[in-house]
């Protein structure tokens, strides 16, 4: 039977402890002292285990989770930069009632946690219904552009879905699946011009589902940027997909 290094290391420490006690006895010839302190050390052992297992392990786990969350937020940031923000802009243009939630999504640098929470509650009540009718040239162009964009980002979406860290972010993962489903549906329809009206409505429902989930995640992402990364928040604010006047260019004032 092969003995692991942990067992060997433990036996080595025990042997070293016994040797040191024997050296102490051979020098001072005081067995009572050795017995007293050996028993005292043994009595303190459960407390040491408590400190190591509960306290130290908690600190290490907390640091690991914080590091993991930072890396995860970096991935989410790349996602919104590459896919989320341009997709939201495209989807919101086919939402006939986007004006009802636009004011809630015109995030400002002065927003507090309460402002984000209230906006989140209000946008949940919105009906994310896209109008995409057969025979409308704009609808056809929208679906074709959407298909081209999502297929071009398909491998990126797949890599995100393979990221084990995202499994802990259930709402973000659900949103990602909704977006990937739209990409999958469009990829299986090479000829969008000759689809029946029912298929147009089906695609609009799928896109609306992704639109709803993506909007909620975008708002959470903006709250995170405002709190942790003001310089990234500044750019995200200037490229707000719900602001028709948004521009990344910073103009001079005065």
Nearest to 139 by CA among 210, 192, 188, 208: 192
Residue 26: Cβ-neighbour burial (10 angstroms; 0-12, 13-18, 19+): exposed
d(CA 240, CA 112): 18
Phi, psi of 57 (to 5 degrees): -65, -35
d(CA 137, CA 109): 39
Length of the chain: 254
Identify the pLDDT of residue 4.
74
> How crowded is the C-beta side of 220, counted as CA atoms within 13 Å?
14
Torsion of CA 234, 238, 241, 242, to 10 degrees: 100
Q: What is the pTM of this model?
A: 0.75
For residue 164, count other CB atoms closer than 10 A to its CB. 6
The answer to whether 246 touches 238, Cβ cutoff 8 Å, is: yes
Identify the pLDDT of residue 34.
66
Identify the pLDDT of residue 29.
73
Identify the pLDDT of residue 47.
74
Nearest to 88 by CA among 221, 195, 187: 221
Handedness of CA 214, 215, 221, 222 (dihedral sign): positive
Identify the pLDDT of residue 128.
93
Nearest to 222 by CA among 130, 112, 146, 92: 112
pLDDT (tens place) for every residue of the chain, 254 residues total: 566 777 787 788 778 877 877 877 787 777 776 667 666 776 667 777 767 777 766 777 777 777 777 778 888 999 999 999 999 999 999 999 999 999 899 999 999 999 999 999 999 999 999 988 888 899 999 999 999 999 999 999 999 888 887 777 889 999 999 999 999 999 999 899 889 989 999 999 999 999 999 999 999 999 999 998 898 999 999 999 999 888 888 776 54
Average pLDDT, the chain: 86
d(CA 127, CA 6): 59
Identify the pLDDT of residue 252.
60
For residue 189, count other CB atoms closer than 10 A to its CB. 13
Residue 200: Cβ-neighbour burial (10 angstroms; 0-12, 13-18, 19+): buried
């Amino acid at each position: 039977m092969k003995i692991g290094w942990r067992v060997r290391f433990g036996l080595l420490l025990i042997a070293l402890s016994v040797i040191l006690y024997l050296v102490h006895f051979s020098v001072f010839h005081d067995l009572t002292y050795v017995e007293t302190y050996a028993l005292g050390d043994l009595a303190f052992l459960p407390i040491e285990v408590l400190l190591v297992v509960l306290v130290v392990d908690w600190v290490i786990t907390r640091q690991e989770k914080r590091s993991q969350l930072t890396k995860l937020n970096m991935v989410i940031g790349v996602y919104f930069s590459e896919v989320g923000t341009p997709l939201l802009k495209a989807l919101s243009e086919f939402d006939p009632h986007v004006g009802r939630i636009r004011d809630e999504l015109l995030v400002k640098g002065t927003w507090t946690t309460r402002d984000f929470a209230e906006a989140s509650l209000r946008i949940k009540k919105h009906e994310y219904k896209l109008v995409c009718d057969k025979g409308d040239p704009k609808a056809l162009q929208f679906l074709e552009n959407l298909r081209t964009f999502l297929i071009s980002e398909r491998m990126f979406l797949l890599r995100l879905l393979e990221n084990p860290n995202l499994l802990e972010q259930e709402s973000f993962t659900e949103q990602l699946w909704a977006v990937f489903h739209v990409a999958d549906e469009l990829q299986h329809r090479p000829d969008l011009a000759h689809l029946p009206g029912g298929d147009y409505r089906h695609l609009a429902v799928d896109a609306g589902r992704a639109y709803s989930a993506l909007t909620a995640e975008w708002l959470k992402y903006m709250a995170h940027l405002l709190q942790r990364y003001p310089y990234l928040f500044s750019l995200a604010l200037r490229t707000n997909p719900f602001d028709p006047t948004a521009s990344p260019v910073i103009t001079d004032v005065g």
